[in-house]
Amino acid sequence: MSLLIGVDGGGTGCRVAVAQENGAVLARASAGAANIATNLANARDNILGAISDAVDTAGVARAEIANATAVLGLAGANLGDYAAQLQATLPFARANIVTDAETTLVGAIGDQNGCIAAIGTGSVYGRRDAFGFSQIGGWGFLLGDDGSGARLGRDFMHLTLLAYDGVAPASALTRELLDTYNNNPSDIVEQAKKFTPGDFGKLAPRIVKAAAEGDQNAETLLARHTEIVKKSIDAVGFDPAYAFCMHGGLGPVYLARLPETYQKAAQPAKGNALDGAMTLARLLLAQA
């Protein structure tokens, strides 16, 4: 038996599926963050650990991993040589590492042409057309990931410090964060030094909730990032005549804020990024 393995790895966690050659899933498992540009060693450990757990759950001998065909859709795969480093250490018979944008697109729109926006802890935009797959964004937390939960959370903490200093108006949102840190901005700074993108991303639900309650600072943050999301969707090649999906935890939040043209064009995703990875794994095995 040649196992099929699909991996969806992002800044918050990774999800794994193990299947038979016909794509019938035997087991699934999950583990911690798997952005290979953020922490390659930790990502590898989480990915392989989740695969081992899934294989064990499926009742398959771990030795079968060496015969497996795997596709890993990973955040950070488009940066540096991280994908090449990881590829060299993988234990599978056949493996491809692609970006999480590609697996998300395949899972969401199948074999159609169109585009997706995947906005969770990070953000990335993908398109398939007659020339194949392309993407924009996905440059990571330091210089990219606009619209993402991580950037929203970071900007929230920054705005809270500005409000404390009297540079920006305070609101219930900023006061709540200050209260969390005993009204001591130095504690906020020290905590932020230790934060991963996933930690910043955990603050995003507070912003979304506060905006719905009318908090002006929350609205300002979301409005700023919504404009960048819209421009990114346009830049990747949005066309209402083709398939379009907003994916990720924040996808629906931004879709509700976009003009009607985007809302009417949006369609429910056929599947998720893990489904896309499994589809690509089947194609890879067929080419063997």
DSSP 8-state assignment for residue 14: E
Q: What is the pLDDT averaged over residues 207-236?
A: 97
What span, in angstroms and rounded, lies between the C-alpha atoms of 204 and 200? 8
For the purposes of burial, counting CB atoms within 10 Å of the CB of 287, is it exposed (0-12), middle (13-18) or buried (19 or more)?
A: exposed
Q: What is the pTM for the complete model shown?
A: 0.88
> Helix, strand, or coil here: 70?
strand
Q: What is the pLDDT averaged over residues 132-148?
A: 92
Residue-number span of the structural domain to which 33 is assigned: 4-110+270-287
What span, in angstroms and rounded, lies between the C-alpha atoms of 130 and 125? 17
User: Can you give the pLDDT at residue 93?
Assistant: 95
Residues 246 and 281 in one domain: no
Pair type for strands 114-119 and 123-129:
antiparallel
CATH number at residue 235: 3.30.420.40
Q: What's the mean per-residue pLDDT of the chain?
A: 95
Residues 106 and 162 in one domain: no
Q: Kindly state the tokens that stand for 182.
A: 């005993």
Q: What is the pLDDT averaged over residues 189-200?
A: 94
Q: Which DSSP string do the residues of 183-199 spell out, in sequence order?
A: T-HHHHHHHHHH--HHH
Residues 229 and 277 in one domain: no
Q: Could you tell me if residue 248 is inside a domain?
A: yes
DSSP H helical ranges for 35-93: 40-58, 82-87
Q: Could you tell me if residue 119 is inside a domain?
A: no
Total domain count, the chain: 2
